[in-house]
Structure formats: structure tokens, C-alpha cells
Amino acid sequence: MTLLALAQLGRGVVPVDEPVLRADDEGVLRGRAVFETLRVYDGRPFELHPHFDRLAASARRLRLPEPPQGQLQSLAHDALAAANEPNCVLRFLWTPETGLALVSALPPDLEDLRKRGLRLQVCDWATGLLAGAKSVSYAENMAAQAAAVEAGFDDALFVAPDGSVLEGPTSNVWFREGDVLHTPTLALPILAGVTRSVIWKLAGAEEGRYPLERLLAADEVFLSSSVREVMPVVAVGETAFERGPAAAELQNALRRYAGGA
Ligand code: PLP
């Protein structure tokens, strides 16, 4: 991650290499902190309020105080002005001690990955109490992603002990059967992706509990997330997929909706 600008509650914009966390912050010591990551298109944070709603919901799950939305919003405004980069990634971090807004550069390889499509490694996944909350206790997700990369894949696909498809470590998953899109139901222990809900609005989809075999037999598979947007999938384990029309159309539709095409 290339950090372009950083702002902290009570201090405003600070140099990106400035220490901003206390050593006794429980966010650091025990992973008791929540975060949000969103895209900024042409200087406008995309779906800021749904992200704030989810930050507040995650904070409630971790029994953290309510994040001060207005103050975080003005912090983000100042950090974005300092970064002076209209297309970037905005993050909020809310710990028991502090709140931060971080602006970073977009990962440089996104469009190459979109052209080539992702290969996913199937990963058996037992979800914990905080599944569906965006807490900084993401080490398991990151370890699964790193293990997939070590094994020659691009990312992981989590599958529950009963064989139901869940999500990726940092994305929601979709598959197409003919004209019908499917995505795992939010009744499962997965994150309610903001991009997922935008795609839902744009294209509609059926939700359900899907065995992995059903996804493996689909016509097309793709992932969605704020940073990677709509990412085609070309392999899940040993099963190969063609890059299909739905992912490409939805990527364009998402950009049009974001006003950043
Ligand atoms: N699922 C998980 C576990 C995630 O961490 C993320 C995003 O980081 C998503 C899904 C996608 O969510 P969003 O579209 O809000 O970025």
C-alpha cells in the first residue's frame, strides 16, 4: 500500500510517516478495531454513507464506541485534499483510542488482473464470532490469501464446513448460470459488501446457499469489492472458466454508476 495522506482525529492531516497509534491501543494489542476501505472516483468517495453505516455496525459488534461520522468525514475531506489524487483508495480506522483517515494509491496491477482474470484456491473456512464485521482481526483472511498466492493462485475462495460457498478474504463472490446471477446469501457468515449491494441494484441476482459443485458448474464466476470492483475469475481450483460477459458489463455499469467511467 502506498500511503499518500494521513489524518487523525484531533490533529488533522499529519505526515504519512508520523506515528499515530499508542502502544497500548487495544486495536494494536488485541485487534479490537474496525475499518472501512472505499474507492474515490474523481475526488468523490463512492458510497460513503453505506461504508459509514457498516463501520458503525462493525463497531457495535466489537463493543466499540460509535464512530463520530461527521468528524471522520471532514478528516477524509482534509486527507483527500492533501493527497491531491482524484482516483485513489480511502480507509477509515476506528480504535478504542483514535480514528484515522488514510488515502493510498490504487494498486498498480488491477487492470492487468481484470484482463487476465483471477485464479482462486478453494479454502476450507470455519467462521468465527466476528464473521461479517469489518474488524482489523483480518490476519486469518490475509494468511489464506498469502497461502493461495504461495500455491500459485491469485486469491482464496472460502467454503464453509457444510460445503457452502462463502466469499473471498476481501471480496464477495458471484456466479452466472445462463442469464441468472447468483451470490451467497447474507444469512451466511459473510461481509455485506457495499459493491455487492450496488451490483444487486444494477443487475439483480438470486441469493442462496450454494454448494461449491454448483459454482464449479457455472457459466461464469467473478468477485466484487470496493478496491478491485468486478474481477473475472478464470479458475477455481482445477476448474477453468471463460471470462464471461456479465463481469465485463457489470464493471462498466459500476463505473458509470460511480460517475467515474
Ligand atoms: N468480503 C470480505 C471478507 C471483505 O473484506 C470485503 C472487502 O474488503 C468484501 C467482502 C467486499 O466488500 P466491499 O464491496 O464493501 O468492499
Give the C-alpha separation, 11 to 255, whole Å.
34
Q: Do 96 and 34 share a structural domain?
A: yes
Please give the tally of structural domains in the chain. 2
> Concatenated DSSP letters for 70-117?
HHHHHHHHHHHHHHT-SSEEEEEEE-SS-EEEEEEPPPTTHHHHHHH-
195-220 pLDDT, tens digit each: 999 999 999 999 999 999 999 999 99
Compute, in angstroms, the gap from residue 193 CA to the centroid of ligand 1. Answer: 5
Give the C-alpha separation, 25 to 106, whole Å.
28
Task: Report how far apart the first and last C-alpha atoms of the chain are (Å, whole number).
Answer: 24
94-122 pLDDT, tens digit each: 999 999 999 999 999 999 999 999 999 99
Given 54, 77, 104, which residue is the final one in a domain?
Answer: 104
Q: Do 131 and 245 share a structural domain?
A: yes
Q: Do 62 and 159 share a structural domain?
A: no
What the block records as the C-alpha cell of 91 is 480507509
Ligand 1, atom 2, lies closest to the CA of: 170
Cα–chain center distance at 245: 22
**Residue 239 domain boundaries:** 110-258
Quote the Cα angle for 154-169-20, to 5°.
110
Q: Do 193 and 117 share a structural domain?
A: yes
Q: Do 143 and 35 share a structural domain?
A: no
What the block records as the C-alpha cell of 200 is 444487486
Q: Do 200 and 93 share a structural domain?
A: no
Given 89, 104, 119, which residue is the final one in a domain?
Answer: 104
Compute, in angstroms, the gap from residue 228 CA to the centroid of ligand 1. Answer: 10
164-199 pLDDT, tens digit each: 999 999 999 999 999 999 999 999 999 999 999 999
225 CB under 6 A from ligand 1? yes
Picking from 4-18, 127-141, 161-175, 223-237, which range would have the lowest pLDDT averaged per residue?
127-141
